[in-house]
A and B are shown apart, each in its own frame.
Chain A
Amino acid sequence: MDFRWDILVEYAPFFLKGTILTIGLSIASILIGTILGLLVGLGKIMKNKLLAWPFTIYITFFRGTPLLVQILLIHFAVVPLFLDKTNPILAAILTLSLNAAAYIAEIFRAGIQSIDRGQMEAARSLGLNHVQAMRFIILPQAFKRMIPPLGNEFIVLIKESSLAALIAAPELMYWGRAMQGQYFRVWEPYIAAAVIYLVLTLSLSFLLNLLERRLATE
């Protein structure tokens, strides 16, 4: 097999541009997805079944349909409905965060429900109200347990951002596809993209490990 370094060099600036957008898409989606996920997760554990119902529907839909379907639907149908024109970057962030929020909501729910009931009772008996107990006692403890599954979700999100190439958001995979299309070669563009994705996910898990160690109490 011959490996053409010259075309890799030629496409290096585009891969760089694509990587920056991939990082941007991922960070934006992780932030929005986490906040949205927290709200949806809290919504789903509400005692009032009627109020919790829309959140359950939300999770069912976004967890139960393929991301590819969601991204095409949002890009070609939902965004033009509101903006009057398509916007691939917006559509990608929207889809990734809405999708991630469904999973993150379940991670939050699992984390919160894993904290022993006695913690809430003790907090309440010390005079904290429900919201305060949640904010100062339950969530900080739950958050520590959520880091590993959250890390999983974030890594999945970085990888799935590659689907944005289909709606021509010029991220990493888009340039990989463009390069493949120009030279009709498979190894160079896809190995390059794979290595860059690997670097991104490795760096993220390194950061998460660091965070986990910082928060360790024992």
Chain B
Amino acid sequence: MKQLKLVSTVLMVALLLVLSACGTSKSTSGTKTTGGDAEKKTLRVVTDAAYAPFEYQDKGEVVGFDIDFINAVAKEAGYKINVEHVGWDPIFVELDKKIADIGISSITINDERKQSYDFSVPYFLSTNKILVPKDSDIKSAADLKNNKTIAVQNATTGQEAVEGLLGKNSDKIKKFENNNLAILELKGGGADAVVADNTVIEEYVKNNPKDNFVVIEDSAAFAKEFYGLMFPKDSKIKADFDKAVKAVIDNGTYAEVYKKWFKVEPDTQILKDQQ
């Protein structure tokens, strides 16, 4: 009897804690509205700076293609911005709670995300590719199904693509905090392949020739993806930034930034077709 009382007390306390937590979140969420009077104030741009060359930290400073691009776009649109590294999952949480105004972090535009967020017009074309050791017997996406362990970054389209092949939450998929840890796992031998956006793993192979990794393309299995700026749902600044993204692509600034980071000319036509 005494035990029963103890258990019920504990349950009551836990329940109260949960309820009180719910209460506070409700009362605060209504007061935080950003975006409406954004004309003057500095916009908070959040990113996950662990995805070179798109966004990464160089001696503590967030740099990369995305950062140069958003700076150019914000200048075009007439906004001041402040880019902050918060990590991948927090980007989505902060935009959902409207604590941040824009997310830029090689975020692929897809229908699932469109339900909860707004996206700008696409600014980058990307496909998922497979990173494997040179002597691997994996030659295509279909080979990943042969009892292979695949490392991905949690909640990326790379994970989605692999889950499409192996089934959701398959034991053969290892989900990591970021792409670098996934590649480390491949290097350590705990995974047979990494699936991620092509630019990032191609950059890795280029910078680490000693690892003897190669990149495998399988355009039949992995569809084309486009990156976009992500906004909270019904963001008021979206229209301004759409216009600015188009302008930056048209006036050649985009090509300049692109060449600076990727050393090749961009194919802007494919982006314009998507607008």
Contact = CB atoms under 8 A, between A and B. Distances in A.
Nearest to B174: A168
B171 interface: yes
Contacts of A182: 155
Nearest to B153: A181
A182 B116 CA distance: 13
A85 B175 contact: no
A166 B175 contact: no
Contacts of B169: 14, 178
Interface in B212-269: none
A184 B188 contact: no
Interface in B26-40: 26
B16 interface: no
Interface string A30-73: 00000000000000000000000000000000000000000000
Given A181-B154, A184-B96, A191-B18, A1 B190 contact: no
Nearest to B160: A182
A24 interface: no
A186 B89 CA distance: 10
Size class of the contact patch on chain A: 20 to 34
Contacts of B155: 180-182, 184
Interface stretch (B48-56, B138-146, B176-184): B176-184
Contacts of A75: 188
Contacts of B89: 177, 180-181, 184
Nearest to B169: A14
Contact of A1 (B25, B159, B171, B189): B25
Interface string B78-116: 000000000001001100100000000000000000001
Interface of A: 1, 3, 14, 75-76, 79-80, 83-88, 166-168, 170, 174, 177-178, 180-182, 184, 186, 191, 195, 198, 202
